[in-house]
Amino acid sequence: MDWTTLIGPAVVAAIIIAVMTERRLRVDMKIAERRFALDRELAEQKFEFDKALATHKVDLDVALAERKLSLDQALAVWRRRFDIAEQVLAAAYEARDALYWARTRVTFSGEGRARVATEPESDEIKKARDQAFIPIERLTEHAKAFAALQTVQDAVAAHLGPQAVQSIIDILSTYRKITSAAHHLIKYASWSKDPMTADGLRPFRQAIWGERPDDNDKRVDAAIQQLDAICRPILSAEAPT
């Protein structure tokens, strides 16, 4: 057999193989391009999703932080109002009881004798001054309550309002009226040989030991009722959540 007779089929086979290989390469390239396009599309979608998720998370974090800040502020205000209401109401009740007791005519042995005399005194004047000192002595035992009412007024004005402040003013004015009357009785006891019945000292005696209940009692009771009406709802309210 002449070898040249084999060249034709070999060439044809080579051509066929070359054509098939080229087609395969084209198919592979198309598949690779399509896969690349899909990967890029998926990557872009994933990026957009991650971006949206991150943005949503930031928005949620901001909203949560704002909510927490608002809640913290509301809780702080509630706590502050609660503390002030509790403090002022407790002090007011103690002050009311102290004023009532200071003006009680019943006395006990030894009361008033803590007073320090500033000048020579007769027995009558000493007795009158010691008796007049008893309301001061009794009120002094509750000085912290009156001091608390005095110092808390600005906070009460800011958190509880002017009516609560006016109630405190009424209690403190009654306190000053009683102590002032007692000091006047001590100071001017020497005006009369019988300071216990001297007409000039009658208004001061009346302010302390007059018929009860008098205007002083009514003023203090009204102040307590007003404070109670303001403070009780605050003390019974639940904390913000």
| Residues 38-63: tens digit of each pLDDT | 878 787 888 888 788 888 888 787 87
- Write down the pLDDT at residue 155: 94
- Concatenated DSSP letters of the chain: --GGGGHHHHHHHHHHHHHHHHHHHHHHHHHHHHHHHHHHHHHHHHHHHHHHHHHHHHHHHHHHHHHHHHHHHHHHHHHHHHHHHHHHHHHHHHHHHHHHHHT-S---TTTTTTPPPSS---HHHHHHHHHHHHHHHHHHTTHHHHHHHHHTHHHHHHHT-HHHHHHHHHHHHHHHHHHHHHHHHHHTGGGSSSTTT-GGGHHHHHHHHSSSS-HHHHHHHHHHHHHHHHHHHHHHSPPP-
pLDDT digits (tens, 9 = 90+) for 94-124: 999 999 999 998 888 889 888 888 888 888 8
pLDDT confidence of 3, banded at 50, 70, 90?
very low
pLDDT at 34 over 60: yes
The overall average pLDDT reported for the chain is 85
| pLDDT for the residue 26 | 76
What average pLDDT does this structure show over 151-161?
Answer: 94
| Whole-structure pTM value | 0.72
